[in-house]
Amino acid sequence: MRKILHIDMDCFYAAIECRDDPAIRGRPVGVGGGGQRGVLSTCNYEARKYGCRSAMPLFKALELCPQLIVKPPRFEVYRRESRRIRGIFSRYTPHIEPLSLDEAFLEVTHQRRYAWEIAREIRQSIRRETGLTASAGVAPNKMLAKIASDWRKPDGQFAVLPDEVEAFMKDLPLRRIPGIGPRAESLFQEQGIRTCGDLQDVPFPDLVRLVGAARAEEMHDRCRGKDDRPVEQSRVRKSLSVERTYPRDMESVEACLDRLDSLLDELEKDYAKLRKPHSFTKVFVKCKFADFRQTTCEQAGSRMERELFEPLLRRAFERNPHAVRLLGVGVRFPEGGEDAQLEFPFKEPVEVPGARGASKDPSTGDASA
């Protein structure tokens, strides 16, 4: 049986800012840029009490919490601290899979000690050597470890033991499964499916009709707490993109098209900086509108040329009557990384035996919208 840890730093960027500036400790703090049109990269728990959260537009966060202290990001500092923390990880195992600057999976199966003790020591070392706190999840697989690390935040840890998996999953809300976002959760709820136990009751053929053949087997396993993915020491990049939020909403597609060349130029520069240039197989355009809904259009493509992106931008623009506040362009590589947002077609309604509020109306919509 594998022993997997998921270590997740608590409000990493904001915690570093509060550590380095004692005057703001204990006050609501967020990290973000771009002025009033920017977004929060993260915020501390004092700010979250007011409803602030990561990826929230900055103006909205300030409406919720006028006393919010907004610090500009210092990515060189964050990367430096991330390297220090990974150095601590390496004392316990060579099997480390970074997910971002502030979280990673660790496999400690080879260690004779209890995984719980190792997680506790790692958290103590991080606090002692960096002045920051981390939360940890301990479980027999990656998915459960990631869920568990969020259970006792901040500065805590939680374990799901192998003989507890079945009971743990039964009442677990679907939203807890990594990759199921608000839209997918809403579509499941329209079918009366709210917990992993509800989803377990869906016969497999009905699950195929509900989420599509490509995702049915994965969801069948995930809702039962099954996950055979190994801890991978080098992860394959799944995409590369750039996006910008503009000072003024763009009312016309022509105004959006005027921004396209500069975005593509930036994307090409970032692509050239990759250590090992990947060949890409898809190109995409992302739009976020004034009502904060967003959409993505993509197609097969292996060239960063305007003639491929322009039709995608026009199609994306037509999906929403509101003006555009954010534009993004990007490319997708052949092999995706893990924890991508799950996308479901939801073509047919499925009634779950015993589920409350199961919808009998056809459910339509794009789970990735």
pLDDT in tens, 330-340: 999 886 443 44
Active-site option among 17, 97, 103, 185: 103
Q: Would you give the DSSP letter of residue 145?
A: H
> What value does the mean pLDDT take over residues 56-66?
92
pLDDT of residue 184: 78
Full-model pTM:
0.70
Mean pLDDT of all residues in 64-72: 96
At residue 364, does pLDDT exceed 50? no
pLDDT at residue number 334: 81
Report the phi/psi class of residue 26: left, alpha or beta, with left for phi > 0 and alpha for psi in -120 to 50: left
Q: Do residues 84 and 65 lie in contact, with contact meaning Cβ atoms separated by under 8 Å? A: no
Residue 347 confidence (pLDDT) above 90: no
Strand pairing category for 103-107 and 134-139: unpaired
Q: Tell me the CA distances in angstroms from 198 to 74, 170, 194, 195, one per residue in order.
A: 44, 8, 6, 5
Summary mean pLDDT of the chain: 87
Q: What does the block give as tokens for 105?
A: 């999976």
pLDDT in tens, 236-260: 678 889 998 888 899 999 999 999 9
Q: Do the strands 96-100 and 39-43 form a parallel or antiparallel pair, or are they unpaired?
A: unpaired
Q: Which band of pLDDT confidence, cut at 50, 70 and 90, is reported for residue 363?
A: very low
The stretch 173-186 carries a mean pLDDT of 84
* 8 A C-beta contact, residue 154 and residue 133: yes
Q: What's the mean pLDDT in 292-320?
A: 93
The string over 189-226, giving b where at least 16 C-beta atoms fall within 10 Å of a residue's C-beta and e elsewhere, is: bbbbbbbbbbbbebeeebbbbbbbeebbeebbebbbbe
Q: What is the pLDDT of residues 137-149, one digit of tens each?
A: 999 999 999 999 9
| DSSP string over 290-317 | TTS-EEEEEEE-SS--HHHHHHHHHHHH
Of the ranges 5-14, 48-57, 178-187, 213-222, the best mean pLDDT one? 5-14
Instruction: Give the pLDDT band (50/70/90) at residue 262.
Output: very high
Walk me through the domains of the chain, giving residue ranges and CATH numbers: 4-9+76-166 (3.30.70.270), 13-75 (3.40.1170.60), 169-229+340-369 (1.10.150.20), 239-332 (3.30.1490.100)
Torsion sign (Cα): 134, 136, 142, 146: negative
For the question of residue 103 being annotated catalytic, the response is yes
Q: Which amino acid is at 10?
A: D
State residue 366's pLDDT score: 30
pLDDT average, residue stretch 42-46 = 95
Q: Which amino acid, 127?
A: R
Is 37:58 a contact under the CB 8 Å cutoff? yes
In percent, the amount of the chain with pLDDT more than 90 equals: 67
pLDDT of residue 236: 66
Residues 211-234, mean pLDDT to the nearest whole number: 88
Among residues 42, 18, 39, 158, the alpha carbon closest in space to that of 101 is found at: 42
How distant is the alpha carbon of residue 93 from its chain centre? 25
Cα separation, 324 vs 338, in Å, equals 30
Distance CA 178, CA 221 (A): 13
User: Prior bond to 154 cis, omega within 30?
Assistant: yes
